[in-house]
Amino acid sequence: MSTTWLITGATSGFGRLITERALAAGADVIAVGRRRDRLAELARLAPEGVRITTVELDLTAPEAEQVLTDAVRTAGGLDVLVNNAGYGLFGAVEQIDADEARAVLDTNVLAHLTVLRATLPALRASRGRVVQTSSLLGQFAWPSSGLYSATKGAVELLSEALAHELAPTGVKVTVVEPGTFATEFAGNLRVVSPADVYAPTVGKFLSDFAQLPPEAFGDPGTVADAVMTVAALDEPPLRLAVGADAVDHIRASLVSRLAELDRWEPLSLKATHGAAAGPV
pLDDT in tens, 88-139: 999 999 999 999 999 999 999 999 999 999 999 999 999 999 999 999 999 9
Catalytic residue among 135, 152, 172, 198: 152
Q: Which residues contact 227 (CB under 8 A, 6 or more apart)?
A: 14, 18, 21, 82, 131, 176
State the chain's mean pLDDT as an integer.
93
**Confidence band for 55, pLDDT divided at 50, 70 and 90:** very high
Task: Provide the pairing of β-strand 80-83 with 172-178.
Answer: unpaired
**Confidence band for 274, pLDDT divided at 50, 70 and 90:** low
Give the Cα-Cα-Cα angle 228, 163, 84 (nearest 5 degrees). 45
Cα–Cα distance for residue pair 228/206, rounded to 1 Å: 32
Q: For the chain, what percent of residues have pLDDT higher than 70?
A: 94
Give yes or no for residue 273 having a pLDDT over 70: no
- The reply to whether 152 belongs to the active site is yes
What is the CATH topology of the domain spanning 4-245? Rossmann fold (3.40.50)
Closest CA to 171 of 123, 227, 133, 131: 123
Kindly state the average pLDDT of the residues 58-75: 98
In this structure, which amino acid lies at residue 273?
H
CB-based contact 212:197 (threshold 8 Å)? no
Q: Which residues contact 32 (CB under 8 A, 6 or more apart)?
A: 6, 7, 8, 9, 10, 55, 57, 59, 68, 71, 85
Question: What is the dihedral angle through the alpha carbons of 154, 185, 100, 34, rounded to the nearest 10 degrees?
Answer: -90
Tell how many helices (H) and how many strands (E) occur in the chain.
11, 9
Cα–Cα distance for residue pair 130/230, rounded to 1 Å: 10
Give yes or no for residue 17 having a pLDDT over 70: yes
- Condensed to tens digits (0 to 9), the pLDDT of residues 253-268 reads 999 999 999 999 999 8
Q: What is the reported pLDDT for 23?
A: 96
Sign of torsion, CA 52 115 80 233?
Answer: positive
Alpha helices in 76-213 (DSSP H): 98-105, 111-126, 146-166, 185-188, 204-210
Q: What is the reported pLDDT for 211?
A: 83
- Condensed to tens digits (0 to 9), the pLDDT of residues 196-205 reads 999 999 999 9
Give yes or no for residue 276 having a pLDDT over 60: no
| CA contacts within 13 A on the Cβ side of 246 | 21
**Confidence band for 53, pLDDT divided at 50, 70 and 90:** very high
Q: What is the reported pLDDT for 181?
A: 82
pTM above 0.85, yes or no: yes
Catalytic residue among 148, 149, 159, 172: 148
Kindly state the average pLDDT of the residues 153-165: 98
DSSP-derived secondary structure letter, 103: H
**Confidence band for 189, pLDDT divided at 50, 70 and 90:** confident
Q: What is the reported pLDDT for 185?
A: 63
- The reply to whether 134 belongs to the active site is yes
**Confidence band for 218, pLDDT divided at 50, 70 and 90:** confident
Q: What is the reported pLDDT for 45?
A: 85
- The reply to whether 144 belongs to the active site is no
Catalytic residue among 134, 135, 145, 159: 134
Q: Is 76 helix (H, G, I), strand (E, B) or coil?
A: coil
